[in-house]
């Protein structure tokens, strides 16, 4: 499995601590440095079964500068949201764990991290 993290994020550090404690096999992706492109964001959204606005950190300064709160949340605006996430990766909710079974989770709780590990173990 792969986990997208921002090392400054306490939820990301907690997820890594739990993965290590459980002996999980995972790869770390520092997505602020290794920025996902639009196609990769689309693929992760499909795995998450979420829309881009559902994984957007709307309280970030970049979100406020872009006026994201006023953007339409509909199919016609989806590509605009994805482009914003690719251009401003700090807007992406974290951590995101992609499991080997083809699914993904926004792992902001210990339970979500454990669910990702369970999915990964069954693949």
> For residues 105 and 99, is the Cβ–Cβ distance under 8 A?
yes
Instruction: Report which secondary-structure segment, H or E, holds 36.
Output: none
Q: Distances in Å between the alpha carbon of 12 and those of 16, 69, 90?
A: 6, 25, 13
| Residue 12 bears catalytic tag | no
Catalytic residue among 2, 9, 77, 101: 9
Written in H, E and C, the secondary structure of 53-95 is HHHECCCCHHHHHHCHHHCCCCHHHHHHHHHHHHHCHHHECCC
Question: 121: which 2 tokens?
Answer: 């173990």
Catalytic machinery residues: 9
């Amino acid at each position: 499995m792969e986990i997208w993290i921002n090392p400054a994020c306490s939820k990301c550090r907690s997820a890594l601590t739990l993965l290590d404690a459980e002996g999980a096999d995972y790869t770390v992706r520092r997505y602020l440095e290794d920025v996902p492109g639009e196609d990769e964001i689309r693929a992760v959204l499909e795995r998450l079964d979420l829309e881009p606005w559902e994984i957007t950190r709307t309280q970030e300064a970049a979100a406020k500068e872009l006026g994201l709160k006023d953007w339409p949340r509909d199919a016609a605006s989806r590509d605009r949201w994805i482009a914003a996430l690719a251009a401003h990766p700090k807007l992406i909710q974290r951590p995101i764990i992609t499991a080997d079974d083809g699914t993904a989770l926004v792992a902001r709780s210990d339970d979500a991290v454990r669910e990702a590990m369970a999915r990964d173990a069954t693949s």
